[in-house]
Structure 1
Amino acid sequence: MTLVFSTCCFSPFPPLHPGRLTVLPQEALVQIGGSIQLNCSLDCPDGTPQWKGLDTNLGNIISTPTYSLLLITNATVAMEGTKFCVGNCQGKSHQGSTNLQVYSLPDTLQLETQPKELVAGQPAHLHCSISKVYPPGSLTLSWYRGDQRLESPDAEEVADDEELFSYDSELEVPGEKVTEGMEFRCEVELLLPPSDRSFHRATAVTVSTKGKSWRSELGILARWVCNFSCQSHFPMSLAILVCQG
């Protein structure tokens, strides 16, 4: 018997690893005060990837021979920017990166009106504001009357000591536009390029209907007093005052 060995499909050497370095997430986004985990992995035995050029106070780093985790807690504006990870596989260097973006948008808007309770037919002054917003230049504030978007000046942007921003917008509404039951709404949108992720907030105020019902009830009372005075000894002078009122 003759044994024939073939080497066409067998190699005594292990396959080479591609040495691919991967950083996730590709678009890292975290809210100010929040936490995020950045993962750098290298498809190579003993590759030992590591985050490069990071301030030691930036976050906690957990490393193994094949991956490195960067744990960021209580995120601040100073922490945003490009983060680099490097590794070496079989004498070849590899590098990857991700851009960490931070943002801030409070849950509520402040809406103040003058008068405090809007009354149909009376002009109104509306003031909408929001603070602790980041990044600058990314927020749009809009006014609505019902479903109709109103023309209004751009909101004023002011920075504070924490590099966060506040926005204020005022709206003057003529009396003929202040109709009973009408809703006036202030909306903001924070758009974050390049991912185009957006966040929205809104608050609204409705024109009171109490004025009409109060006048209607007063009219009914006045008519009742007038009728009653004609059928009783109710003082006519008082009845006249009520009827005229």
Structure 2
Amino acid sequence: MDIKYLAILHLCLILSVAGSYQDVGQVIIKPLGKELTVSVGSSLNLTCEYTAQCTGGITYTWKKVDTETEKNIIRSGSTLSITVVKLEDEGVYICEVPCVKNIKKVTVRVYSLAEPVIEMPKDLKDNTTVAITCSVNSIHPPGVVNISWYQGDNMLFSEKKDSDDTPISFTLSIHLNKEQHHGKKIKCIMQLETLNVSKEQFEILHIYHMPSDVNIEVPSSLTEGKALLMSCTSTGYPNPAIQWEKIDQPWPIHLQRHPNGTVTGLLAPADSGQYQCTASNSQGTKSNLITLDVQYGPTNTSIISSKGHFIQEGEFLNLTCVSESHPKVKCYKWSMIPELSLPKDLTPYDGYLTIKSFHKEHEGIYECEVTHQNGKTQRAYFNVILIEPEREMISPAPQLPGAVGGGVICGLLVGGICGFLLAKWLK
């Protein structure tokens, strides 16, 4: 066989194989799927890919099937982009790869379903029945529209209607109850059954009602000098305003009232008493009371003596330890200075120390230490002094008048006698 003939035959075989490799590839349109559904006003991006290679490179041509002009070339390049989708963009789009005469089709369905609008009365009142409407003013293509009402995740009502490109609305009648509905989300879902596309809208139900459940919280232990955090909260709509006051007394200037319903400050004994928290809004007012019992002391501790500081031997003496505190101090400790102990014959009882017969060993400084339940202590001191007995002395005062009187009388008598005797002698 001629060598030239073999060479030509070999070349033809190579070209035939290369041509067969070109036909192996596939044309793919992304996003994948034979039919795409897009909304009016959205954007659309279609990308065409060929999975093999073409001699001389790959080119792409996009066409849209038009019933009047058959196939119209609308774009060259692998990507077809529509920035704002319109109803007229609906149709069948074809991507061609000329080097292999291969095409791929995709159908684009364009729908129009506007955002639903929920309408209801502005002021929702407790224990009233209201009508809530959900509507849309643009639906395409015409068909069955399914509407569903939800409160949270619970379906309340479902209904179907036929649409014909005109606005459509659905109304839900609901009896309002603040415990069941206030602050809850009510949702409307519109669904085009033909295309299985939907839109939803929701509103929060705000039901006007007066304050309720005025709750006051205070610390379990209230002690003088400790920080106070007292709070008052209430439910209601509109949100209630909180106001604190002290019953029958001015508000303590060292306690601060805050807009969020809290009261802060350092506690003082005078803070004990009854307080009222009032919650109010446009629908009404409600109050609650709390009593503060502030523990304090001990303070102004002192010792009171039944006989004063000076006492005679053998007398009865009672010492009483008093202190201002709340609740009353229960722990008393008696001692003497500097021994720090009491004579053995003395036995104190709470705040009392009784000495039935006072003697020299009882003389001295007495100390009373009081300890409150809050752990604070205070001491008081009292000095008791024994009075020394006075010595008995004979008083000369009663003899002096007698001596003077006697002298006068004796003088008179002696004088008289002497005068008589003198007169007799002169005769």
TM class by shorter-chain length? 0.5 to 0.7
Is 1:40 matched up with 2:48? yes
Distance 1:45 1:138 in 2: 51
- Normalising by the residue count of structure 2, what TM-score does the alignment of the two structures yield? 0.37
Q: CA deviation at 1:98?
A: 0.9
Name the aligned partner's letter for residue 140 of structure 1: N
Q: Which has the higher contact order (CA 8 A, sep 6+)?
A: 1
Matched with 2:176 is: 178
Flag structure 2 segments of 5+ consecutive residues without an equivalent: 1-12, 212-235, 237-281, 288-427
Name the aligned partner's letter for residue 176 of structure 2: V
Against the structure 1 CA distance between its residues 201 and 151, is the aligned structure 2 distance closer, same or farther, given a 3 Å change threshold? closer
Q: What is the alpha-carbon root mean square deviation over aligned residues?
A: 3.6
Q: CA deviation at 1:30?
A: 3.5
Matched with 1:102 is: 110
Distance 1:97 1:192 in 2: 25
Matched with 2:118 is: 111
Against the structure 1 CA distance between its residues 102 and 187, is the aligned structure 2 distance closer, same or farther, given a 3 Å change threshold? same
Matched with 1:203 is: 202
Distance 1:122 1:131 in 2: 29
- Give SS of 2:134's match: strand
Distance 1:29 1:171 in 2: 30
Distance 2:125 2:92 in 1: 53
Q: CA deviation at 1:150?
A: 2.0
Against the structure 1 CA distance between its residues 125 and 154, is the aligned structure 2 distance closer, same or farther, given a 3 Å change threshold? same
Matched with 1:154 is: 160
Against the structure 1 CA distance between its residues 53 and 31, is the aligned structure 2 distance closer, same or farther, given a 3 Å change threshold? closer
Matched with 2:130 is: 124
Matched with 1:8 is: none
Distance 2:161 2:194 in 1: 20
For the pair shown, which has the larger CA radius of gyration, 1 or 2? 2
Is 1:20 matched up with 2:21? no
User: How many percent identity over aligned positions?
Assistant: 22
Distance 1:38 1:105 in 2: 22
Matched with 1:77 is: 87
Q: CA deviation at 1:103?
A: 3.5
Distance 1:172 1:133 in 2: 24
Question: Would the aligned equivalents of 1:120 and 1:207 in 2 still touch at CA under 8 Å?
Answer: no
Aligned residues: 190
Distance 1:37 1:85 in 2: 13
Question: Would the aligned equivalents of 2:149 and 2:186 in 1 still touch at CA under 8 Å?
Answer: yes
Question: 1:52-101 deviations in whole A, cap 9, x for unaligned?
Answer: 45569x995133xxxx43332321111112212334446xx422101113
Q: CA deviation at 1:48?
A: 4.1
Matched with 1:51 is: 62
Q: CA deviation at 1:122?
A: 1.3
Question: 1:155-209 deviations in whole A, cap 9, x for unaligned?
Answer: 563525xxxxx33111222xxx310150361321446877x6x554221241514
Matched with 1:187 is: 188
